[in-house]
Chain A
Amino acid sequence: MGLGIRIENLRKVYDSPAPSTLGAAGFSFGPVRSGSRNGRREKKKKTEILALDGISLEIRPGEIFGLLGPNGAGKSTTIGILTTRTEPTSGRAFVGEYDVWKQQVKAKRVIGVVPQRPNLDFALTTREVLVFHGAYFGQSARERNRRADEQLEKFMLTDRRGQMSRELSGGMMQRLSIARAMMHDPEVLFLDEPSAGLDPQTRLMLWEIIRGYGSLGKTIVLTTHYMEEADELCQRLAIIDHGKIIALGTPQELKSSIPGGYVLRFRFDRAPEELLRQIRELPGVTEVHLAEPTAADVYADRGGPLIGPVVAAAQSAGSEVRDVHIQEPSLENLFLHHTGRSLRE
């Protein structure tokens, strides 16, 4: 049975830019405070960056949980703190019953980590990376050799087993990182942007593997900025922006929490102003925009049920519906709703 995770009022202030954001595009924080706490040594000002602003969260045992947010939102910092790699400025983090920053070794034993950038042991071959990882976790020679071969097979790396890990392609390194994290069968698996840089086919394979691991009762925490991924894979989600949780719930709950989450695009043979006015007055419709000369975007709290009334309105305005496309409520719309910004910005 997987272990639960609890974080209490986590704050993290970096003295210099967060390691994960060095060189990464889209870092969105400005300096929050210039360090004048050194009194006389004010000349040597440090740039302090607030990465986490008091996050509290509980993840249930056996849950596949997603942290969704744009670059620099604090996802990697949260994962870093839970995996003993980033020390929190204040607050506490628990994996199972272990306080991560007081019982580091016990915590390390039950977690598996897939970092944002592959931090493989580049002095070893693909297979050795797995075998030595097993050895660090106390597996017997027989067990670690058997498991390493299984993992290589599962992640389609068997033909690269003798190749130096530094010579692998980016996607293969990513696969090897995930194989390594699962090598010691951890109760909690952390994946930081697991599908970044993977081709669509490998991404599907990865989702299968994550679902399979979750079905064994393991707890899985992943970060992503792909909404499809969060939607497809996660049982519950937290949406993070600027170091704060702005929404929490199942993907379905989150999506239905926004008013007028549906967008219907109608194409008419012609779209007179009278028609748009009539659609605007239909029940459930919040906004109507003319997208093209003969196409209108209808924002509403329902999808299919609106088609009949719109067709009727078109007829009475002397027009005809040629095409309709319904866009269901999405996490993209949700993020837009909560922050006024698109996730991809």
Chain B
Amino acid sequence: MNWKTFYALLSRDGHIARRNLVMVLVQILLQPLLFTFVFGRVLTSGGFMRAQFKSVLLPGVISISMVIAGIQAVAMPLISEFQFSREIEDRLLAPIENGWLAVEKIIAGMIQALVAGLVVIPAAWLTMGGANISYDHPLRFAGFCLLVSLLAASGGLALGCSVGQTQIGLMFSLIMTPMLMFGCVYYPWSFLRPFPELQYAVLLNPVVYASEGLRGTLVPQIPHIAGPIAAAVLTAADFGLLAIGIRKFKKKAVS
């Protein structure tokens, strides 16, 4: 393992992220801000939604912002770099095993997902004007944030190595949208009880455990999937996706 090279690769990604900081922030913040404003502020103050909805919404919005930011940070550049020009070779020729380049992408993606989560919390809290957040379990919260960011980054790696440039639109409508709508982002899992088949089907979606896990640490007063279960499934999903992603990356790296 060649740390100098690994660090140089990571600083390259950091350099580009800093250069595009404003764009990245807008991309991360705009959607959750508008969403929390309309659903958490407009609809609750108009009386259509109960004030408690704010507390349901906040952890969900954090989870989905992290997931989207992580996937985009890893998958989008990979998809274009694996195209015709094989831009990725600029880095594949660096003196380091190809697998470590994939690991580097994961770390860079995790950092961006964590930043996204950390930026969204105060922003969403402010636009909604007060959700009842519990500060009792900071370590558990940090642990879930790490698990969610790894989920996002390794999911991004697996997707980025499977999807071609022409299928990006399809990726969003076929994978991202259902993941978002059935990821228990806007409602707790227990609300799906009237639809038993759906309630069990969505358990295949790892975003469910991300949202429910964060819900358990931030707003424990809202019903949620038990913390240890959510953590265990998230860990399994993380390492599963990581293994798939790295294998696909290594295969795609050479012709």
Contact = CB atoms under 8 A, between A and B. Distances in A.
Given A105-B2, A121-B91, A19 B254 contact: no
Nearest to A117: B85
Contacts of B92: 84-85
Interface stretch (B93-101, B157-165, B167-175): B93-101
A80 interface: yes
B97 A132 contact: no
Contacts of A136: 5, 8-9, 91, 94-96
Interface stretch (A53-61, A62-70, A108-116): A108-116
A23 B83 CA distance: 13
Contacts of B87: 119-122
Given A86-B254, A136-B5, A136-B8, A121 B90 contact: yes
Interface in B84-118: 84-98
A86 B8 contact: no
Nearest to B251: A87
Nearest to B87: A119
Chain A: interface size category: 35 or more
A178 to B, nearest CB: 14
B201 interface: no
A80 B92 CA distance: 12
A39 to B, nearest CB: 23
B4 to A, nearest CB: 5
Nearest to B77: A123
A119 B85 contact: yes
Given A120-B87, A123-B77, A138-B4, A132 B255 contact: no
B255 A80 contact: yes
Contact of A105 (B15, B88, B90, B97): B97
Interface in B1-32: 2, 4-5, 8-9, 11-12, 15-16
Contacts of A80: 255
B97 A104 contact: yes
Interface in A242-291: none
A18 interface: yes
Contacts of B95: 105-106, 108-109, 136-138
B254 A108 contact: no
Interface string A152-196: 000000000000000000000000000010000000000000000
Chain B: interface size category: 20 to 34
A326 interface: no
B93 A108 contact: yes
Given A124-B16, A132-B8, A86 B255 contact: yes
B255 A119 contact: no
Contacts of A122: 85, 87
A324 interface: no
A118 interface: yes
A22 B98 CA distance: 24
Interface in A115-155: 115, 117-124, 128-129, 132-133, 135-138
A19 B86 contact: yes
A138 B85 contact: no
Contact of B93 (A18, A84, A138): A84
B62 to A, nearest CB: 28
Contacts of B84: 22-23, 117
Most buried by A among B84, B95, B98: B95
B94 A108 contact: yes
Interface of B: 2, 4-5, 8-9, 11-12, 15-16, 77, 84-98, 254-255
Given A113-B93, A117-B85, A135-B8, 18 more contacts: A19-B255, A84-B254, A85-B92, A85-B93, A86-B255, A108-B95, A109-B95, A111-B93, A115-B89, A122-B87, A123-B77, A124-B12, A129-B90, A135-B11, A136-B5, A137-B94, A138-B8, A180-B90
26 contacts: A18-B255, A19-B86, A22-B84, A80-B255, A85-B92, A85-B93, A85-B254, A86-B255, A87-B255, A105-B97, A108-B95, A108-B96, A113-B89, A115-B89, A117-B86, A119-B88, A121-B87, A124-B16, A132-B12, A135-B8, A135-B11, A136-B9, A136-B91, A136-B96, A137-B95, A138-B8
The 10 A-B pairs with the shortest beta carbon distances in the complex, nearest first, are A135-B8, A136-B94, A109-B95, A119-B89, A121-B90, A138-B4, A108-B95, A19-B255, A87-B254, A123-B16
